[in-house]
Structure 1
Amino acid sequence: MSEQPRRADHRSGAPTAASSYSVPVPSNDESTPLAAAAQEHVSLLRRATAVSTFDRPLQTRVFVVANQKGGVGKTTTTVNVAAALAQKGLRVLVVDLDPQGNASTALNIPHSEGTPGVYEAIVEGTDLDDLVKPCPDIPGLTVLPATIDLAGAEIELVSLVARESRLDRALQSYLRDREQAGDRIDYVLIDCPPSLGLLTVNAMVAGREVLIPIQCEYYALEGLGQLVRNIELIRSHLNPKLEITTILLTMYDGRTRLSAGVAQEVRSHFGDIVISTPIPRSVRISEAPSYQQSVITYDSTSSGALSYLEAAREIAAAGTKAR
């Protein structure tokens, strides 16, 4: 019998890409992968339609969606979790902190050069009230857009006072004003660039929870240990409230041993902070941004949309419990 992966505390590091991904072969062949996928789709559809609204969290939850490795579904996760939460009646703000502005594009928010957005907030000190834009397709969802102007912000921030906490100050002021007006934001999701520069540091100082998307591929775990160590540095020196609370498996293919093996390895290491429903590889998820939509609005009954709705349900359920 092969030795099972050793469980470790999620703050102590991360499993390596060289870990074994061997998975036992099922002893019966009564259900094919296609049949299993169909059954899972029906189950997700049933759960998605069973609840029309999610309960509001006890207080505003500020998530940093981060992974220094590119191509893991970070922006896709930000956009679709935000859309799913808003569709279920919650007030959600997406902060697009990536100069590429892909989250802004996917949510149909103008972000051409010169458009006021997150650059003006963190470099020039402009109030978020003047910068946040409503998503035209999803009531309750608002966006602080990113433009190409943000590409130079890393350099400009170096010479500014309190350079690591510029976003935090702007965001907290905005959230207080909204709460005092009786219009509290329930969730903030900050989409970070795939690097660990000053923009990502600003996000981690502003955040309270970290959501890490991990793709179910062989090299997915590379760099994860460094990300965890950097989060610990932020906790030690700048933001003791920051905590890794959510891991989301993305690009999952139930037909392959590799996906199942990576999922098993991640669950063994991170335990119950891993969302139970992985996000599958999906043509609909890939197509949606080209139509400036989330997959939630593009094809609400697709496997990708239903999986993100289920992931959002788990996240929302955790927000109703005292921590």
Structure 2
Amino acid sequence: MPNFRIRRTLAAAILALPAAAISLPASANDAYPSRPIRLVVPFAAGSGTDAVARITAKELGDALNQNVIVDNRPGANGSIAAEIVAQAAPDGYTLFMTTNTTHSANPSLMKKLPYDPIKDFTPVARMGNLPFMLVINPKLPVKTVGELIAYAKSHPGMSYASGNSTGIVSGATLARMAQIDLLHVPYKSTPPAMTDVIAGQVPMMFVDVAAGIANVKAGRMRALAVTTAQRSRLLPDLPPIGDAPELKGFDITSWNGVFAPAKTPQPIVDRLNRELSKIAASKEVAPKFEALGFEAFGQTPQQFAGFVGSELVKWNKLVKDAGIQPE
């Protein structure tokens, strides 16, 4: 009987304590992250997105005191990687650093997708823009976009390589606006496409600055223009492609951001957004991004979600205007 009275008294005392004093053990969200995080990238090592992802993974790992491992899953225009992330557990341990390829262009470029860019993902943070440039093999006897158009008109069927949707749509847009006959040569990712441009197997391509700048500086490729309407602050000497009279209004930009699987808990999303936004705004990290030709800046998850929705509409129009048929 005395033992019963002790237990009853102890129970009453516990019930009388403030809620904070008897809080339950930390939840999985509160302990996050307790193991390494996988950052899936839809393009091969050596691509611009891969380079940005590796800097981001290092900085995010330091901020979270946990390893962030880059997992390259190229192929099918990014769809393989997107499907992997869409089917992953929504626990914050699988993230997706991707671009407009998987989340803006693919729904218009492909008849069937193994994922839904809106329903299957939780937007975490937009990280910035990946400016693209038109590059050629340096042996091609042209120095300007106008000269390239004239050369292409006298050499119908000239080919262009692509390693992602921005390259595909930019090439088709150039062909339509300049009224030239170009043959599209698709590649699994950007590095092998650049290799063939450098070797002269394919004379030209549109490539993100992050992936192509080293080869341009080394003289292995010649850059003619950026694909944006305005000059890039990272390449101020390179004119916009729209400066050519035939290409007035040409304006294509590639964006970069991080997603998690749908239904990832909001506290985890908010934590990741805070850290990723700090990385994008960091003065210490900025020179690393700029050296790649990456224009870094942050957005809240809500802002990023709205942006993704608007980009789906924009890229649907770009693809249709370029005359590209879904495959």
TM-score, normalised via structure 2 length: 0.28
The structure with the larger Rg is 2
Q: Which has the higher strand share?
A: 2
